[in-house]
C-alpha cells in the first residue's frame, strides 16, 4: 500500500479527547488512510515528514469568523492556517456580503468589526466589479476562484438579506414592517442560498452593533429590527431544509433567549427542530456563576423542549485589551456609542476630554460591565 504523504512518529491527538500517543499516519488522496503504532512502508511516497517531538492533530474548525472582506484581500487567511485552522465559517452575526451592494455591505460590516471602512469598501467594490456576483451561487463561485488557504464555508446574514429586500434605510427603521411579498422574497433568497451550498442563516437580536458610513450612521443592524414573525418565517425555511441558525440574544432582555429554544424545539414544531448556536459572553469576575448558569439552563431547556441550542463561548476566561475606543464592546453603553458616532478624530478627542462626559462614561461603564455582553 502506497501513500501520498507519511507523517512519522508524531504525538497524535485523534480529536476524541483520548490521551495522545506516538503514531505514524499515512495519507492518501487527502484523507488519513492509516494510523499506525509502527513504521509504514515509505516506498513510492512523495513526501515523508518527520514529526518526532511535534503534535499531530485534526485541523481546527473555526465556526465564528468575520473574514468576509479579508478573504477577498488575503484569501490565504494565514493567521488562521498557522494556528492549525483548516476550515472557517463566514457570514456570522447577520453579516454577509452576498446580496447587498458594496456600499451597504461596507456600512453593515466595518464598524462592527472595527475595520476602516475605506478598506472594506475598496475590497468589496473591486471584488464585485472583477467577479460580478449578484446571488449566492455566483458568490460561492467567486470565493472558490480565490487561492484559499483553509476550507471556507458560509452562512447567509439576515442583515444582508433584509437590506437587500427592504433597502438599508427601511431595514433600519423601527416603524417599517415587511409586507407579505417582502417576507416571501427574503424566504426565496434564503432558499436559493441554501441551494447554492450555504449552511444556514445568521441573525442578530441585540442592538449593540451599529452601522458605519454617513447615510444611516449609528443605527443598529437591520436584523435587530426584525419581529419574531419575520424570524419564524425564515427559520421555517431552515427547518424544512435541515439547516442551522447562528444568532445572538438581546442582552438587554436575557429572557428573550427562551424564544430561540421554542423555535428550535422538536416538540413544538411537529418533530422538526432547528439546530441553533447563540453567541454570548459574561464578565467572569463580576459574574462568576454565569457560565455555569448558561450551561445548566441550556441543558435543561434542550431536554424539556427537545431543542438543540448551543452557546458559543471561549473555553477559558480571557482578558480583553483595546488600543483605543474603536471596539464594539464600547457600543454596549450610550457614552461609548456617542464617541464612536464621531468620525473625525479631533471631534472625538474633544468629547473624550470633556470632564462631564468622562464622568458619564465611567458611570455607564461601571454599570454595564456587571452584565451580559456579546
Shared domain check, 84 and 214:
yes
Shared domain check, 124 and 203:
yes
pLDDT value, residue 286: 64
52-61, 115-124, 188-197, 274-283: least confidently modelled range: 274-283
128-132, 149-153, 245-249: least confidently modelled range: 128-132
Domain of 71, in residue numbers: 60-243
Shared domain check, 215 and 338:
no
pLDDT value, residue 368: 66
Given 209, 243, 277, the domain boundary residue is 243
Q: What would the mean pLDDT of 102-106 be, rounded to a whole number? A: 97
In the chain, the N- to C-terminal Cα span, in Å, equals 51
How many structural domains is the chain composed of? 4
Contact predicate 47/5, CB 8 Å: yes
The answer, yes or no, to whether residue 372 has pLDDT greater than 70, is no
Element (H or E) spanning 240, and its range?
A: helix 228-241
Residue 321 forms part of a structural domain? no
Higher pLDDT, 58 or 315: 58
Q: Which residue has 468629547 as its cell numbers?
A: 351
Q: What Rg, from alpha-carbon coordinates, does the chain have?
A: 23
Q: How confident is the model at residue 369 (pLDDT cuts 50, 70, 90)?
A: low
Given 243, 262, 289, the domain boundary residue is 243
Angle between helices 180-196 and 158-166 (to 10 degrees): 130
Coil vs helix vs strand at 1: coil
Retrieve residue 180's grid coordinates: 407579505
What does the CA dihedral 212, 216, 219, 222 come to, rounded to 10 degrees? -90
The answer, yes or no, to whether residue 370 has pLDDT greater than 60, is no
Shared domain check, 142 and 126:
yes
Tell me the per-residue pLDDT of 286-328, one tens digit each, with 9 for 90 and over: 667 777 777 888 999 999 999 999 988 776 777 777 778 888 8
Shared domain check, 52 and 64:
no
Residue 175 forms part of a structural domain? yes
Phi, psi angles (nearest 5°) of residue 231: -60, -45
Shared domain check, 230 and 136:
yes
pLDDT above 70 coverage of the chain, percent: 95
Shared domain check, 267 and 239:
no
Retrieve residue 327's grid coordinates: 471596539
Retrieve residue 218's grid coordinates: 449609528
What secondary structure letter does DSSP report for 8? Answer: E
Shared domain check, 219 and 286:
no
Residue 322 forms part of a structural domain? no
Shared domain check, 189 and 89:
yes
Dist CA 347 CA 340 (whole Å): 10
Residue 161 forms part of a structural domain? yes
pLDDT value, residue 1: 80
Q: What would the mean pLDDT of 104-133 be, rounded to a whole number? A: 92
Residue 84 forms part of a structural domain? yes
Q: What would the mean pLDDT of 38-54 be, rounded to a whole number? A: 96
Higher pLDDT, 283 or 217: 217
Shared domain check, 119 and 45:
no
Amino acid at each position: 500500500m502506497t501513500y501520498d504523504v507519511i507523517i512519522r512518529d508524531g504525538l497524535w491527538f485523534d480529536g476524541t479527547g483520548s490521551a495522545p500517543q506516538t503514531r505514524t499516519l499515512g495519507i492518501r488522496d487527502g484523507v488519513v488512510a492509516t494510523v499506525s503504532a509502527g513504521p509504514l512502508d515509505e516506498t513510492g511516497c512523495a513526501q515523508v515528514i518527520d514529526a518526532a517531538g511535534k503534535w499531530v492533530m485534526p485541523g481546527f474548525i473555526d465556526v465564528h469568523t468575520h473574514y468576509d472582506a479579508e478573504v477577498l484581500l488575503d484569501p490565504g487567511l494565514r493567521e488562521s492556517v498557522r494556528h492549525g485552522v483548516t476550515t472557517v465559517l463566514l457570514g456570522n452575526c447577520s453579516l454577509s456580503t452576498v446580496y447587498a451592494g458594496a456600499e451597504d455591505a461596507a456600512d453593515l460590516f466595518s464598524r462592527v468589526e472595527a475595520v476602516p471602512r475605506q478598506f472594506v469598501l475598496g475590497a468589496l467594490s473591486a471584488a464585485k466589479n472583477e467577479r460580478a456576483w449578484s446571488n449566492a451561487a455566483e458568490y460561492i463561485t467567486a470565493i472558490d476562484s480565490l487561492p484559499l488557504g483553509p476550507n471556507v464555508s458560509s452562512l447567509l446574514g439576515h442583515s444582508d438579506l433584509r437590506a437587500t429586500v427592504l433597502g438599508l434605510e427601511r431595514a433600519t427603521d423601527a416603524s417599517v414592517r415587511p409586507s407579505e411579498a417582502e417576507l416571501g422574497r427574503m424566504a426565496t433568497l434564503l432558499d436559493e442560498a441554501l441551494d447554492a451550498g450555504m449552511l444556514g442563516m445568521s441573525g442578530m437580536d441585540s442592538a449593540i452593533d451599529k452601522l458605519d458610513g454617513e447615510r444611516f450612521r449609528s443605527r443598529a443592524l437591520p436584523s435587530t429590527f426584525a419581529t419574531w414573525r419575520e424570524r419564524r418565517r425564515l427559520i421555517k425555511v431552515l427547518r424544512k431544509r435541515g439547516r442551522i441558525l447562528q444568532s445572538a440574544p438581546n442582552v438587554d432582555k436575557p429572557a428573550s433567549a427562551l424564544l430561540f429554544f421554542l423555535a428550535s424545539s422538536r416538540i413544538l414544531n411537529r418533530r422538526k427542530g432547528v439546530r441553533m448556536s447563540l453567541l454570548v459572553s459574561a464578565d467572569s469576575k463580576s459574574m462568576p456563576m454565569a457560565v455555569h448558569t448558561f450551561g445548566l439552563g441550556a441543558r435543561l431547556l434542550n431536554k424539556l423542549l427537545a431543542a438543540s441550542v448551543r452557546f458559543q463561548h471561549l473555553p477559558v476566561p480571557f482578558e480583553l485589551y483595546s488600543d483605543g475606543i474603536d471596539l464594539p464592546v464600547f457600543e454596549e453603553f450610550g457614552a461609548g456609542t456617542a464617541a464612536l458616532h464621531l468620525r473625525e478624530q479631533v471631534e472625538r478627542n474633544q468629547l473624550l476630554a470633556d470632564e462631564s462626559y468622562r464622568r458619564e462614561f465611567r458611570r455607564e461603564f461601571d454599570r454595564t460591565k456587571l452584565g451580559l455582553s456579546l
